Amino acid sequence: MTAEPHDPVSSTPRVAVVTGGASGIGRSTATRLSADGCRVAVLDLGDAGGTDAELTLRTDVTDPEEVETAFKEVVATFGRIDVLVNNAGITGSAEATRCHETPIDEWDRVQAVNVRGPFLCTRAALPTMLRQGSGHIITVASVAGLIAFPGRCAYTTSKGAAVQFTKSLAVDYASAGIRANAVCPGFVETPMTQWRLDQPELRAQVETKIPLGRVAQPEDIADAIALLASDRLVYMTGHSLVVDGGWTAW
Ligand SMILES: NC(=O)c1ccc[n+]([C@@H]2O[C@H](COP(=O)([O-])OP(=O)(O)OC[C@H]3O[C@@H](n4cnc5c(N)ncnc54)[C@H](O)[C@@H]3O)[C@@H](O)[C@H]2O)c1
C-alpha cells in the first residue's frame, strides 16, 4: 500500500534526502519514499543508478565540502528539504573487533562515516529546515546502539552515538518545528551482511536469535522509515524505533 505524504501546510510533494541510497536499506528507502510521493535525492559514494530518486549525487558524507555542495544542489533543485534520512554507514573491517584489537584507523573510519557523516549532513540540512520551520531528521542507527554487538567495538560505539545524536537534535530543534528520530534495525539482508547470510550455518545462528524467525529484508526497514517520514507520528521526537523481529526482546 502506498500513501500520499501528508503535508499539513500545502500539497507540495515532500522532499527527502537519503544518504547511502545506492544499496541495501537506503536503496529500498529511496524507492519507498518515491512511491509514497516524495521527491527523493540520493547521496552516495557509489553509483545510485537504477534507483527511483530524482536526483543522485556522488557524495562522501565524511567530507564537509562535498556535503555542503550536495545540499546546495538539493535545495537548488527542489527548493526545500522535509526529510533527511542519515543512512550511510559501515561496520568496519574484520580487524575492527574488540577494543584493544581495533586498529586506530579502522576506529576513525567507522566513526567518520557513522557519526561525522550524520553530523555533517544534518548540519547542512538544518539551515533550510530552520527557514521552513519544519523538518524531520531520521537517522538509521542499529540495535547495536542499544545493546553491544560482541567484537564490534567501533560499530557499537558509533550506533550508540547515533541514538544520542538523535536525542540531542530532538531537544535542540523541537521549538523550531524540527523533529529527530532514529530507526534501530536488527539483522537485515543487505550487501553489508550478505557474506554472513550466504553461509547456511551462520544464517541459522543469526535466525535462531530472532523470535520472528527470519532476518529483515531492506523493505521492512524502509517501511518503518516511511512511516516516520509520513508525518503520521507527529508527537514522536527523540525516539529510537526498534525494528528487529523481536531480537532484543528476550
Ligand atoms: N544490514 C544490517 O543488518 C543493518 C543492521 C542495523 C543497522 N544497519 C545500518 O543501516 C545502514 C545501511 O546499511 P546497509 O545494510 O543498507 O548497508 P549497505 O552496505 O548495503 O549500504 C550502505 C551504503 O552506504 C554507502 N556509503 C558508505 N560510506 C559512505 C560515505 N562515506 N559516503 C556516502 N555513502 C557511503 C555505501 O556506498 C552504500 O551504498 C547503515 O547505517 C548500517 O549501519 C544495517
All domains in the chain, ordered by first residue: 15-188+217-249 (3.40.50.720)
Q: What pLDDT band is residue 52 in, cutting at 50, 70 and 90?
A: confident
Q: What is the pLDDT of residues 213-246, one digit of tens each?
A: 999 999 999 999 999 999 799 999 999 999 999 9
Nearest-CA residue for ligand 1 atom 41 is 89
Mutate to test the pocket of ligand 1, among 27, 45, 110, 121 (most ligand atoms within 8 A of CB): 45
Q: What average pLDDT does the chain have?
A: 94
Which of these, 99, 55, 94, 87, lies nearest to 159 by C-alpha position? 87
Residue 10 has a pLDDT of 56
Q: Is 129 in the pocket of ligand 1 (CB under 6 A)?
A: no
Which of these, 162, 160, 120, lies nearest to 140 by C-alpha position? 162
Q: Which atom of ligand 1 is nearest to the CA of 192?
A: 19
- Span 91-113, average pLDDT: 94
Residue 6 has a pLDDT of 45
Nearest-CA residue for ligand 1 atom 23 is 20
* Contact call for residues 47 and 59 (beta carbons, < 8 A): no
Q: Which contiguous run of DSSP H or E holds residue 182?
A: strand 178-185
Q: For cell 526498534, name the residue.
A: 242
- Span 198-202, average pLDDT: 94
Greater confidence (195 vs 73) lies with 73
Ligand 1 center to 219 CA (angstroms): 14
Q: Which atom of ligand 1 is nearest to the CA of 216?
A: 3
Distance, CA of 87 to CA of 30 (rounded, Å): 11
Alpha helices in 59-138 (DSSP H): 64-78, 104-111, 117-132
* Contact call for residues 45 and 58 (beta carbons, < 8 A): yes
Mutate to test the pocket of ligand 1, among 19, 25, 115, 243 (most ligand atoms within 8 A of CB): 25
Ligand 1 center to 10 CA (angstroms): 33
Task: State the cell numbers at 184.
Answer: 534501530
Report, as residue numbers or ranges, the catalytic residues: 155
CA 93 to chain centre: 20
